[in-house]
Structure 1
């Protein structure tokens, strides 16, 4: 019985580590999208053209892995934030969207997966 409990505990611990930290799930993405200065500042960080806040640096560090794994380690809230951000930037700031795509996916290997991800 102790072995079963220990195994279950270990499995839960491993599964918990499979996701990115949920501490930043309360991030207000609308605040960024509604503020051109803030959006530009974050974009400069993501594109290595400017300084990063600690919050955006976390995203920047995880973005390549998230793209490669279709956000497999993202929490549901992180996926929701990512979809909202991508849809709005793509629609309202295609210039910025194109810069981000060129930087993070120059060969276009994530395009099909990303389009599937953005579907409702």
Structure 2
């Protein structure tokens, strides 16, 4: 799930010292959380089990870097969206959260930093 949250938070490609593109900062995360079909579609993309929309593909491509750098290039809005998404998926869809964590962090390297990220 951590992957899903960060994935939905990230935008287009960026240079090493820049923030990710803020073009998607107005993304309505409640639309995804309130729509089981849409959430499942995004999850399948992130888990390499289904097709990706161009928007989710951009996020998916940046997700590994975001995990490694503790979302250093994320805008404040992207961090806020990601945090909300992660908290909700972890609480309401623990099965999906487990799959995403297993896919993007199989060795558990990012667990501590991600737990810090999710703190209120």
Q: TM-score, normalising length from structure 1?
A: 0.86
Greater RCO (Cα-Cα under 8 Å, separation 6 or more) = 2
Partner in structure 2 of residue 108 of structure 1: 108
Deviations 1:6-64 (A, max 9, x none): xxxxxxxxx9x510000010111100000000000000000000000011001100100
Partner in structure 2 of residue 47 of structure 1: 47
Deviations 1:57-90 (A, max 9, x none): 0110010000000000000000000000100000
Counterparts of 1:42 and 1:79, CA distance in 2 = 18
* Residues matched between the structures, number: 105
More helix by share: 1
In structure 1, the residue corresponding to 2:60 is in which secondary structure? Answer: helix
Partner in structure 2 of residue 22 of structure 1: 22
In structure 1, the residue corresponding to 2:26 is in which secondary structure? Answer: coil
Q: How does 1:1-120 map to 2 (within 5 A)?
A: 18-120=18-120
| Greater gyration radius | 1
Deviations 1:84-103 (A, max 9, x none): 01000000000000000000
Q: Structure 1 regions of 5+ residues with no counterpart?
A: 1-14
* C-alpha RMSD of the superposition: 1.1
Q: Structure 2 regions of 5+ residues with no counterpart?
A: 1-14
In structure 2, the residue corresponding to 1:82 is in which secondary structure? Answer: helix
Q: Deviating runs (4+, > 4 A) in structure 1?
A: none
Q: TM-score, normalising length from structure 2?
A: 0.86
